[in-house]
Amino acid sequence: MTNQSAKIYIDNNRTISAISLLLFGGFAEHMGRCVYEGIYDPASPHADENGFRRDVLAALREQNYTTVRYPGGNFLSGYNWLDGVGPKDQRPRRRELAWQSVETNQFGTNEFIEFCRAIDTQPMLGVNMGTGTI
């Protein structure tokens, strides 16, 4: 076996292509308190009229994300975007298998779009191709 090592050479004077601004994005996942009690917490004294926490929105605006993907991570595997649209009192509650909880859909597709407007970023909707629908 030979002792070969990899080498990387950086040429600052050569441009292969522009860097996509999508690289400076993030995602919102229903893990822990990212969404409920994080971004969205209508009962909080920090909440605005949409239920978004003003302090969280301010911190996220400072990050200057170019895009935010939703839903992110494991939550997408069981999410149907239709559950998160329309009047909140008519949205289904579903068993959430990824996080072994009940998803109320109080923060859904509609709220995600409003959230993106609030932090001045572009939405990127994740698509569940397994059990979801286009």
DSSP letter string, 12-23? TT---SPPPGGG
Give the model's confidence band at 1: pLDDT under 50 very low, under 70 low, under 90 confident, else very high: low
Instruction: Label residue 112 by pLDDT band (50, 70, 90).
Output: very high
Instruction: Find which of 17-21, 68-72, 119-123 is predicted with most confidence, using mean pLDDT.
Output: 119-123
pLDDT band at 108 (very low <50, low <70, confident <90, very high): very high
Mean pLDDT within 77-86:
89
% of the chain residues with pLDDT over 90: 58
CA dihedral 131, 123, 106, 30 (to 10 degrees): 70
Domain map (residue ranges) of the chain: 24-125
